[in-house]
Amino acid sequence: MELVDKINKLKKDKKAVILAHNYQRPEVQDIADYVGDSIELSKKAMDEKDAEIIVFAAVDFMAESAAILNPEKKVLLPSAGARCPMAQMLTVDEIKRWKVHYPLLPLVLYVNTLASAKAYCDICCTSANAVEVINSLNAETVLFGPDHNLAEYVQEKTGKTVIPIPERGFCPTHLLFQPEEVQILKLQHPEAVVMVHPECTAEMRKIANFVGSTSQMCKYAKESAAKTFIVATEEGLLHRLRKDNPKKQFILAYEGAVCPNMKLNTLERIYISLKEEKHVVTVPEPIASKARKALERMFEVRH
């Protein structure tokens, strides 16, 4: 039996759902029940009332959020080593240090943080709703972590003072994009629209026609009349963009923009994890209940 068939059989037998982040390998996206960004997927998991197991093909913090929001389900991360380096940049000790200096400021954390950090924040946000979340707060100054590029972008958009914690948290993959390389691609494809993720640098955002999260890029590409797009985000999204828009052309702004952690999830690892119910992600109480409140507050914000 082919590996894909074996996974599908196990999935049926065990009442499992496979969720794949937009940055997963093409073959992993193709076998998934749903493909999307981290919060879209956690919500999908909540909608899947009959599912007993969720295989979350992504990185650690996303599987943690799914476990927090779906405490009655077993959440599996196919590769135990799939850890987001940006999420590791903000520790609880670091948060406590900043809180000593700014005890009265609200703390907003990007969902790309570990549950232990989320438990200390007032509200979470994604790259899709960060502007709305900050605008929803009755405060002109906020602490924001861990991505300083997203913090800067949100500050530009809201006019509020957004203090990044740590000072220089970043996504190593999105930092690889360079405006000079996009300019060269633009010479070859003058008609192309440039889409840039807000985790990229300010210089990259400046040359963008559109700045947005992965889900916002998917929507924008579908609705736009443009036929060619230069895309500055992790290369996995291009598989989805091409599948959703077969008549349009998508060019990665830098060929090396690969998140090695996201790519640790292979079909083989999905199969083993599901077969042996291995790499179960759990978040201890009361961390889970505090982090859940921060995530639920985010869901209440209209966007």
For residues 112 and 216, which CB has a smaller minimum distance to ligand SF4 in the complex? 112
- Cα 63 to Cα 45, 211, 269: the distances in Å are 11, 26, 15
Stretches 5-13, 46-54, 98-106, 165-173: which one binds ligand SF4 (CB under 6 A)?
A: 165-173
- Would you count residue 259 as binding ligand SF4 (CB under 6 A)? yes
Q: How many residues does the chain have?
A: 303
* Nearest distance from C-beta of residue 138 to ligand SF4, angstroms: 29
For residues 26 and 85, which CB has a smaller minimum distance to ligand SF4 in the complex? 85
For residues 57 and 259, which CB has a smaller minimum distance to ligand SF4 in the complex? 259
DSSP H helical segments within 56-136, as ranges?
60-69, 85-88, 92-101, 115-118, 130-136
- Would you count residue 126 as binding ligand SF4 (CB under 6 A)? no
Residues of span 48-87 touching ligand SF4 by CB under 6 A? 59, 84-86
Q: Is 273 exposed, middle or buried (0-12, 13-18, 19+ CB in 10 A)?
A: buried
Is 237 within 8 Å of 257 (Cβ atoms)?
A: no
Stretches 161-169, 183-191, 203-211, 258-266: which one binds ligand SF4 (CB under 6 A)?
A: 258-266
Stretches 90-98, 121-129, 150-158, 170-178: which one binds ligand SF4 (CB under 6 A)?
A: 170-178
- Would you count residue 124 as binding ligand SF4 (CB under 6 A)? no
- Would you count residue 26 as binding ligand SF4 (CB under 6 A)? no
Strand blocks (E) in the chain:
16-21, 34-36, 53-57, 74-76, 107-110, 123-125, 141-145, 161-164, 193-196, 210-211, 228-232, 249-252
Question: What residue ranges bind ligand SF4 (CB under 6 A)?
Answer: 23, 59, 84-86, 112, 171-173, 234, 259, 261-262
